[in-house]
Structure 1
């Protein structure tokens, strides 16, 4: 499952890079900034949920 998700993420990154490379430089930089912001927000959300789930598991065990 993790391998499939990693493959899909890499495929999406390759598609975004291909699309950005065809844009004029100013638009490409703006779009890359938006993509980086969205990726950072997704990472933070993932980490928050992961920590919350880990805390719940530790409460049940302890």
Structure 2
């Protein structure tokens, strides 16, 4: 589980936190996005999706360059 260890993590939230869990089936991977503000969860998810997209593009380029040689 990935979680930022900031001071607010140790204090009780004023309202219920928004949690989004992403698990990878058959693997011991769990990613958690947690915040009291929807905009922060949305920003974290957007960054995560961009990272996945970038990795996918890089892997596709590597695959095509390895077939071309």
Shared fold, TM over 0.5? yes
Following TM superposition, the consecutive aligned residue runs of length 4 or more in structure 1 with deviations greater than 6 angstroms are none
Number of equivalences? 43
TM-score, with length taken from structure 2 = 0.54
TM-score, with length taken from structure 1 = 0.60
Larger relative contact order (Cα-Cα within 8 Å, sequence gap ≥ 6): 2
1:1-62 equivalence runs, <5 A: 10=24, 11-12=28-29, 15-16=30-31, 19-20=32-33, 22-24=34-36, 25-56=38-69
Q: How big is the alpha-carbon RMSD for the aligned residues of Structure 1 and Structure 2?
A: 1.7
Structure with greater proportional strand content: 2
Partner SS state of residue 35, structure 2: coil
- Structure 1 stretches lacking a partner, 5+ long: 1-8, 57-62
- Structure 2 stretches lacking a partner, 5+ long: 1-22
Taking the aligned partners of 2:49 and 2:35, their CA distance within structure 1 comes to: 17
Taking the aligned partners of 1:55 and 1:36, their CA distance within structure 2 comes to: 29
